[in-house]
Amino acid sequence: MAEGLSISARAASRYASALFELMSGDNQISDLEKDIATLQEVLANSEDFKRFISSPIHTRDETRLSMGKIADYLGLGTYVKNTLGLMAMKRRLFVLPQFLDELKRLIDEYKGIVEVKVVVAHQLLDDEKQKLITSLEKKIGKEIHPIIKVDHSLIGGMRVSIGSKLIDSSIRTKLIKMKNKLQEVD
């Protein structure tokens, strides 16, 4: 199963890289962002579309033609429409969610935006969230794209992941460290 996931991730990455290069070369990044948002909205709200992209029952041509009609209906750009058509012909539409995630990552990297994962002990209010974002951007020196999740087991504080760097200031971790030190004294 893990092997299948890595194959999917590689396929998504290849298609995303090719599309990104084409569209960035033609200065169409904002058009690409709109198309990504449209496709993500359809994925989030249409069970029929999710079934369509993962269904093996249609021929390659039927899938390609249907995907072309869907792309036209959604108003997607030519490059995106053609990429989706190619993915349909190669029976790779099932990687669409990973493909869109990889495109967003490439766009963020292109714009100098850093993805930061933050795990907090409780839901943040809007002003708390904005203060956190401002503080992290100041510390990192770049614009960030925060992904904030709640984990009540942290008790208090937070964990921040920037790439491979982890900053853990959760109360849970501090209590575990204190417990370990007390056990060393025994």
Residue 6 token pair? 């890595």
pLDDT at 186: 63
What is the predicted pLDDT for the residue at 184?
84
Question: Can you give the pTM of this predicted structure?
Answer: 0.73
- Give residue-wise pLDDT tens across range 13-53: 999 999 999 999 999 999 999 999 999 999 999 999 999 99
* Packing angle, helices 96-111 and 78-89, rounded to 10: 140
Reported as type and span, the H/E element at residue 145 is: strand 144-150
126-185 pLDDT, tens per residue?
Answer: 999 999 999 999 988 899 989 999 999 988 889 999 878 898 988 888 889 888 988 887
Alpha-carbon span 43 to 37, nearest angstrom:
10
Query: Which helix (H) or strand (E) element contains residue 116?
Result: strand 114-120
pLDDT at position 2: 46
Stretch 93-116: mean pLDDT: 93
